[in-house]
Amino acid sequence: MSKELVEIPPRDWAKLRELYIHKDTDPQGYPCINNFIQWVEKDPSLKVKFLSLDGDWQKDGTFVLTWHREVGVNHIYFNTLSDNFDNITKALECLKPVENEYIFFGYNSRLKPVVEDIGKKLYTKEFHVVGTIWYKASKELVDSFTLEVPYGITLADLSVEDAETINEIWPHRAPGSVDFVKNLIQLNVNTGAYDESGKLVAWCLRLPIGSLGLLQVVDSHKRLGLGQLMVKSVSKKVSALGDQVLAPVVHENTASRNMFEKIGFQAIETVYWAN
């Protein structure tokens, strides 16, 4: 009997989210599902679909979430509550191989074998996997954060006009990624630091999986504590929403890892990204 992906109707998305309410530090658990529900409520034009194998998602919470971006890049988010990966593997096998990109966005080590297996079938090019350390800050820690803003610096929410600046020095930028940055600015909490002339000199955004991301300080303003300030500011905004404060850091980025650990974040998992 052939298998197919069946769209989960929007009226059932909240029910799927409830199945994952205890998975609140899983990058593709509650934070991810909740984020996309809220995104679509804000912008119904987003090409977001929740899919399940033959429509049978209530049994073990197995789902595939696709976000088709305008430049032909397809973000894939997926999960299952089952310890048996047969259904999630079959669900991903229903995706069509593409010449453009599938990006498997922030999945935990438990699901790494699934992506390694399916990636060989979906990709028409070389398959790249990057590992990151997944950090968590407790609510008590975040509540203790104080925001000490250096003289001459102003903190404010980012504007869409800042997307070009952010994308220009983002190490993971790619064709069309400026539109991704715009989505993050428009749809999620964030913080920017501006100098006396109004120039953006540091920032931190929130990724689709609910974690902090795209943390950056321009070279001219490094060693002023702005990295910590950005992290603490966005952490407070995320925590105020009632969400867990989470952050991925690439293994090789020892400076960023040291900074997160210095302010009290705890490493809890390894999270991977593949394209």
Domain boundaries, the chain: 5-127, 136-270
Among left, alpha and beta (phi > 0; psi -120 to 50; other), residue 55 is: left
CA–CA distance, 129 with 272 (Å, rounded to integer): 7
More confident residue, 67 or 102: 67
Q: Is the pLDDT of residue 71 over 70?
A: no
Range with the lowest mean pLDDT among 9-18, 62-71, 105-114?
Answer: 62-71
Judge if pTM exceeds 0.85: yes
CATH numeric code, 136-270: 3.40.630.30
Question: Residues 178-198: pLDDT tens digits?
Answer: 999 999 999 999 999 999 999
Tell me which CATH code domain 5-127 carries: 3.40.630.30
Enumerate residues 6+ apart whose C-beta is below 8 A from 215: 203, 204, 227, 230, 231, 247, 256
- List pLDDT tens digits, range 143-163: 999 999 999 999 999 999 999
**What is the amino acid identity at position 95?**
L
Is there a common fold for 5-127 and 136-270?
yes
pLDDT at 29 over 70: yes
Q: What angle do CA 204, 150, 133 make, to 5 degrees?
A: 30
- How far is the C-alpha of 243 from the C-alpha of 118, rounded, in Å? 31
